[in-house]
């Protein structure tokens, strides 16, 4: 990933090629760190306060001291000023010892993927429907090895991404996105009680869906409901909404909800302070 700017608490802007984490930091040794990513629209990070709140919550779940909220906001501003761009991806990392903000370009391929849609394969994790708290369900941790392995397996099978299933074929989430689908005027998405990430974009769509004429049901759903939907899509901060055009061997159309809610999300982001 190309970085446009890197800022470190206590040091300010640093060369993106310079090391920022110590060799003894557990972020490197054991993946014990929290992070957040948000999209920057016209120089303004979208719902940054919500992302910082979740960073604090993730740190506490990881048994790390919480980062200082004001320092997170100030460091994000420093990194964005150093990058000198209006549209980008902003990321915050907190290891319990080091707070880092990075700014990177929006991947070029996203609009191509939005136009053609994603092909997903389902991967069963073998977890039950009530994961114990010590499994860190819903925590935004840098321990992403399983997520990256899932993406690699999806590509090996000729797909773009994966969708995780709990035991019994229950839909959870994609490796770095929440999953949605539509039947008629109802949108379905897995409930947070299943351990899926409480995505900030997910929360925004819960606000936007009724305004666009859709009712939302959060719950426990088998993968066949996703495969047989009228349409489906993923949501995440940088990728926004990406239509799903296939789940395993089931083809899906790009539908009206993905288009309408993508436009509504952009409008909301453009009007936010």
**pLDDT band at residue 221, thresholds of 50, 70 and 90?**
very high
Backbone angles phi, psi at 161, to 5 degrees: -160, 180
259 contact partners, CB below 8 Å, separation of at least 6: none
Report the pLDDT value the prediction gives residue 207, as an integer from 0 to 100: 97
CA triplet 108, 197, 146: central angle to 5 degrees? 70
Query: Could you read off the pLDDT of 18-67 as tens digits, one per residue?
Result: 999 988 888 888 888 999 999 999 999 999 999 999 999 999 988 999 99
Instruction: Report the number of secondary-structure helices (H) and strands (E) in the chain.
Output: 8, 15
Mean pLDDT of the chain: 93
Above 80 in pLDDT, residue 220? yes
Q: Crossing angle for the helix pair 200-211 and 256-271, nearest 10 degrees? A: 110
pTM over 0.85: yes
| Tokens 């770095």 belong to residue | 176
- CA–CA separation, 62 vs 42, rounded Å? 33
Run of H or E residues at 20: none
Please say whether the beta carbons of 103 and 89 come within 8 A. yes
For the cut 60, the answer to whether the pLDDT of residue 135 exceeds it is no
| Other beta carbons less than 10 A from residue 121's beta carbon | 20
pLDDT at residue number 136: 52
- What is the per-residue pLDDT across 237-271, written as a single tens digit (0 to 9) for each? 999 999 999 999 999 999 999 999 999 999 999 88
- Identify the structural domains of the chain with CATH numbers, from first to last: 5-104 (3.30.470.10), 110-271 (3.20.10.10)
Confidence (pLDDT) at 28: 83
pLDDT given at position 107 = 94
């Amino acid at each position: 990933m190309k970085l446009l700017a890197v800022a470190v608490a206590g040091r300010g802007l640093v060369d993106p090629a310079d090391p920022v984490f110590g060799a003894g930091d557990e972020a490197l040794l054991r993946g014990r760190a929290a992070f957040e990513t948000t999209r920057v629209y016209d120089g303004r990070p979208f719902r940054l306060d919500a992302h910082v709140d979740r960073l604090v919550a993730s740190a506490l779940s990881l048994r790390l001291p919480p980062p200082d909220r004001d320092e997170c906001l100030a460091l994000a501003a420093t990194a964005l000023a150093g990058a000198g761009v209006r549209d980008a991806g902003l990321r915050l990392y907190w290891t319990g010892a080091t707070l880092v903000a990075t700014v990177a370009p929006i991947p070029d391929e996203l609009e191509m993927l939005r136009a053609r849609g994603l092909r997903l394969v389902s991967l069963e994790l073998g977890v039950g429907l009530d994961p114990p708290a010590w499994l860190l369900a819903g925590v935004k941790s840098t321990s992403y090895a399983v997520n990256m392995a899932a993406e690699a397996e999806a590509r090996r099978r000729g797909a773009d991404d994966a969708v995780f299933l709990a035991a019994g074929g229950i839909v959870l989430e994609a490796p770095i996105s929440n999953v949605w689908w539509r039947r008629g005027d109802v949108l379905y998405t897995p409930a947070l009680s299943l351990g899926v990430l409480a995505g900030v974009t997910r929360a925004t769509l819960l606000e936007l869906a009724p305004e666009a004429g859709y009712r939302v049901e959060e719950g426990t759903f088998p993968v066949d409901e996703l495969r047989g939907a009228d349409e489906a899509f993923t949501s995440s901060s940088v990728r926004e909404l990406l239509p799903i055009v296939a789940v395993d061997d089931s083809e899906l159309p790009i539908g009206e909800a993905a288009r309408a809610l993508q436009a509504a999300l952009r409008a909301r982001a453009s009007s936010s302070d």
